[in-house]
Homo-oligomer: A and B are copies of this chain.
Amino acid sequence: MIQLADDLDRDQPTRDEVIYERVFDAILEQRLAPGTRLSEDKLGQVFGVSRTIIRKVLQRLEHEGVVEIHRNRGASVANTTAEQARQVLVARQAIERAIVLSACEHIQVEDLQRLQLLIQAEQAAIQAQDRGRALRLSGELHLQLAEACGNEFLANFARMMVSRCSLIIAQYETHAHPLCSTDEHAAILKAIAEKDSELAVGLMHEHIQHIEAKLVLSEPSANQDLAAIFAED
């Protein structure tokens, strides 16, 4: 009997992996808004599995930071505070810097070509005014850049940061802003291709700063003074 599996688990995805992806996507695409309760029973019925599998999925999502679990009170889509959002962006700056430095050393030509195609797809989404798709592709670009630099730990951190940032953008970005320009992505990629690490790091830093600048990082109104809000009545 030939042992195909060997050491890798490269079989078809398991049910919990599929469900994880679907819930993850729903959260990042804002079909599940921050704060939404995620009942084990209901999710189990939706996906036709028992609570056992749902609990596994929710625990993983909690670890990735997109879901909050409170003891005996169940799970809900993470509701990031403004202070947490600032912290996430500091952490993301650190991770993206490391990724750019590593990419300048290790990126392959095929990776660069693949990333170029992603930028084109992002551009197309922007021209089609498809904000959701553009945001998703932007995240995918950062993620694939992380994976291309061949450091599974940096890539893992990048995944956590990108998903968390998507949630934050969903929660704090005012819709008055125009869609992200792909020029910045292209410039970063060009600098990496030319192995100009200093330039690439600087461009990436500015890029993340631009993302931050579009956010309105004040605490949501729930914590504000109710008396002041209803003063006009």
One of B11, B60, B90, B150 near A151 (C-beta < 8 A) = B90
Q: Would A90 and B71 be within 8 Å (CB), given that A59-B59, A60-B59, A63-B60 are in contact?
A: no
Contact of A181 with B by CB under 8 A:
no
A78-104 interface bits toward B, Cβ cutoff 8 Å, 1 = contact, 0 = none: 000000100110110111011000100
A94 in complex: contacting residue of B59, B65, B70, B97, CB < 8 Å: B97
Chain A 19-63, CB-CB to B under 8 Å as 1, else 0, gives 000000000000000000000000000000000000010011001
Tell me the bound Cα distance from A63 to B159 in angstroms: 13
Interface membership of A184, Cβ < 8 A:
no
- Using A56-B59, A63-B60, A152-B84 as known contacts, say yes or no to A91 and B157 having CB atoms under 8 A apart: yes
Question: 0/1 per residue, A127-161, Cβ < 8 Å to B?
Answer: 00000000000000000000000111110010001
Q: Does B11 lie within 8 Å of A91, measured CB to CB?
A: no
Residues of B within 8 A of A150 (CB): 87
Q: Is A9's beta carbon under 8 Å from chain B?
A: yes
Contact between B102 and A71, CB atoms less than 8 A apart: no
Which B residues are CB-close (under 8 A) to A56? 59
Which B-chain residue is minimally distant from A94 (CB atoms)? B98
Give A contacts to B, CB under 8 Å.
Answer: 9, 11, 14, 56, 59-60, 63, 65, 70-71, 84, 87-88, 90-91, 93-95, 97-98, 102, 150-154, 157, 161, 164
17 A-B residue pairs with Cβ-Cβ distance under 8 Å, sorted by A, are A11-B71, A14-B71, A59-B59, A84-B152, A84-B153, A87-B150, A87-B152, A90-B98, A90-B151, A90-B154, A91-B98, A91-B154, A91-B157, A93-B98, A94-B94, A94-B97, A153-B161
